[in-house]
Amino acid sequence: MRRKLVIGNWKMNGSRAANAELLSGIVSGLKDVNDRADCAVCVPAPYLAQCQQELNATPVAWGGQDLSIHASGAYTGEVAASMLVDFGASYVLVGHSERRAYHGETSELVAQKAVVALAAGLIPVICVGETLADREAGNTEAVICAQLQAALEAIPADRLAQVVLAYEPVWAIGTGKTATPQMAQQAHHFLRGCVAQKSADVADKMRILYGGSMKPDNAGELLAQADIDGGLIGGAALKAADFLAIIHA
Ligand code: PGA
């Protein structure tokens, strides 16, 4: 049985005051669910220190939203894996569709980021997903397979078990349009099959999260699907009550 995992992706949102309220709301509402699910928030880099302070010794883990492939040096604006680790991060998102779309990140670069994250002891959450045009052209599986393939080729087999995957159809992110549970299940099942070509055992254990307008009112049905092992939550992760409702689902 794979343990469910719910990750909040704050994107570029937050302030020290708002975060303090949100984090304490999440922690105080969690309590008993921790036996059944893992939970984390991926925050803008300046707020990692605040997470470390407020979430230390709680069941809520934290992480970054991106990282550099370089260890240190003349890379203005970038954040190294060791810096995330220095602030107690456990997770890092790689290849979010917003990084791919606005920063031109290729699947090869995303794969390299996952390798660097793993080497530093971080759990990379590798995001894949098709655009509406891809889906309408019947290319969903080809697109998400190609995005994943680069990572499968780059990551050594003995490290693959630490990876988390996230299926995030681009047309569903922040739009209020959610993939139906059947559509999402089909994509997750397909992705698990791609991983199984490298290792059936790892595929069986790998957690594949759904992301794209997951909300309290649709989370239950999505999370009930056989291959949906949790959620990567954007908008609904910014309100403690909504985020908790999804975790409880
Ligand atoms: P959303 O974002 O839940 O607001 O659609 C999900 C994500 O981008 O990770």
Convert the pLDDT of each residue in 185-213 to its tens digit: 999 999 999 999 999 999 999 999 999 99
Distance, CA of 78 to CA of 148 (rounded, Å): 24
Convert the pLDDT of each residue in 105-144 to its tens digit: 999 999 999 999 999 999 999 999 999 999 999 999 999 9
Output the average pLDDT for the chain: 96
Under a CB-based contact definition with an 8 Å cutoff, are residues 76 and 47 in contact? no
Both tokens assigned to 228: 């949906």
Which band of pLDDT confidence, cut at 50, 70 and 90, is reported for residue 36?
Answer: confident
By most ligand atoms within 8 Å of CB, the mutation choice from 5, 7, 9, 65 for ligand 1 is: 9
Under a CB-based contact definition with an 8 Å cutoff, are residues 116 and 67 in contact? yes
97 CA → ligand 1 middle, Å: 10
Name the burial class of residue 157, with classes exposed (0-12), middle (13-18) and buried (19+) by CB atoms within 10 angstroms of its CB: exposed
- Closest atom, ligand 1, to C-alpha of 212: 5
Rounded to the nearest 10°, the torsion over CA 190, 195, 201, 207 is -70
Which band of pLDDT confidence, cut at 50, 70 and 90, is reported for residue 33?
Answer: low
- Closest atom, ligand 1, to C-alpha of 232: 9
Give me the residue spans of the domains in the chain. 4-248
Q: Specify the CATH number for 4-248; select among 3.40.50.9100, 3.20.20.70, 3.40.640.10, 1.20.140.10.
A: 3.20.20.70
User: What is the per-residue DSSP string for 49-80?
Assistant: HHHHHHHTTSSEEEEES---SSSSSS-TT---
Residue nearest ligand 1's atom 9 by CA: 234
- Give the active site residues: 96, 168
